[in-house]
Amino acid sequence: MALPDTLERIGVVVGSAFLLSLPTSALSSLAYGTADAPRFLPYLWVLPGLVVGLLVVGDRLAVTYHQLWKFSLTSYFLASLFWLVGLSGSAGTNRTLAVGWWLVAVGLGVVVARRRIRDLLSTATDSSP
């Protein structure tokens, strides 16, 4: 049973690295735009995921792999809405707005990851008159 457990742990670390690179890549594209980003940034996108993956595998972080999925995809989707809203032209000039938008996206990603979607939807429908 040692080999399957080891492979599962490696998969969690690698998966966390790729998953958490999504919101990190959104930050760099929001702050720098797509053409002005430094060349070394893609290598830095993977670092937070590697650290979190190692902490999750070692049971040092009270987060499940499922919560990592929800956080990463939600944060990336919400950060990508910046481009759809039409604010992408200000990405290179107004970095404060871009980073603020990213922080809101990450905060909402944390809320979605920590709560169950059914709980959020039931409280939203219960509070309406």
* Structure-derived torsion over alpha carbons of residues 58, 63, 65, 71, reported in degrees to the nearest 10: -140
Read off the amino acid at residue 117: I
Question: What pLDDT score does 101 carry?
Answer: 86
Burial of 83 by CB count in 10 Å (0-12 exposed, 13-18 middle, 19+ buried)?
A: middle
Q: Which H/E stretch holds residue 64?
A: none
Question: What pLDDT score does 110 carry?
Answer: 92
Block mean pLDDT (10 aa), the chain, length 129:
86 92 84 70 86 90 87 91 66 72 91 77 60
The candidate with the shortest Cα–Cα distance to 17, out of 62, 77, 57, 74, is 57
The candidate with the shortest Cα–Cα distance to 70, out of 100, 114, 6, 37, is 114
Question: What pLDDT score does 120 carry?
Answer: 61
Q: Residues 33-58, buried b or exposed e (16+ Cβ, 10 A)?
A: beeeeeeeeeeebbeebeebbbebbe
Q: Is the pTM of this model over 0.75?
A: yes
Backbone φ and ψ of 60, nearest 5°: -100, -5
Look-up of token digits 């809203």:
85
